[in-house]
Amino acid sequence: MQPFQAKIVCHNTPRRTVICTLCGAVWEERFIGVRTATGQPAPVCPRCIPPMLTADGMIEAEISMSLLSADADPATIRRTATERYGQFLSERAPFSRAAVAARNR
């Protein structure tokens, strides 16, 4: 696979379901996401992020953004984010676009 540039982006929505532009996997972003940095910005899932970004780094960024809420519990956010990333990264195959469409109905 050709290396590509990516960047972390913040968004105002607590949850956003995206389709990875590289592998087609469905991923639920929470406050932050990764986008390609060349051409038209497009979502990238944790499996496809370039080596300079790590899942642990993404979890820490998500926790930081989540803590902006007055009622945020750091321990709960860390646990749920770690579980969500772990579950996603352990799945073998990405979801299909049809599964995304069904999920977003």
Beta strands in the chain (DSSP E): 6-10, 16-19, 26-29, 32-36, 43-44
Q: pLDDT-based confidence at 1, cuts 50/70/90?
A: very low
* pLDDT single digits (tens) 43-93: 999 988 888 888 888 888 888 887 777 777 888 888 988 999 999 988 865
Taking only the tens place, the pLDDT of each residue in 10-22 is: 887 788 999 999 8
